[in-house]
Amino acid sequence: MTIRSDLITQLTTNLAAHSGFRVSSELPFDSAGQPLYQKNMKTVYLSEEEKEVTEHVPLLTGEIMQTETLVTGYLVTDAKNQPSDIDTVTSNVLLARTAISSTFDSSSSVETEIEDDRITYTFEYNFLKV
């Protein structure tokens, strides 16, 4: 299993109690010049994993490598009619990172952007493995 697929599984579980919200297994591609997450509001989309491998600890017998994995998630809602449980939804999206095991450090954050009548939530998940 990949980190992205594990996140999708956990997000589906975390958002099951929130009516109207979905998790897509599709990538957040553009369709006719508009990202899918803007077309399909109240649906969480996750990007491909971005990995960076760096030297963590140099040793005489070799080195220990560190892998940092970044996954970005997107969710759009109507700015005029925000769902009453949006705070709980964003918290549950952020908590999905706890489903990823074998990491020595993980973090998640969210940024919001309001444009026209839409609020875009951009989630970032970071995972460090040795």
> CATH code at 14?
3.30.2000
Please report where in the chains the tokens 């969710």 appear, as a residue.
Answer: 75
Q: In total, how many domains does the chain have? A: 1
Task: Convert the pLDDT of each residue in 5-63 to its tens digit.
Answer: 999 999 999 999 999 999 999 999 888 888 999 999 999 999 999 999 887 666 666 67
Q: Are 26 and 5 in contact (CB under 8 A)?
A: no
Inform me whether the pLDDT recorded for 66 exceeds 90: no
Segment 73-102 shows an average pLDDT of 95
Query: For residue 78, what are the domain limits?
Result: 3-129
Q: Pseudo-torsion of CA 18, 102, 57, 127, nearest 10°?
A: -10
Q: How far is CA 128 from CA 3, 11, 62, 68, 70, in A?
A: 11, 20, 20, 5, 9
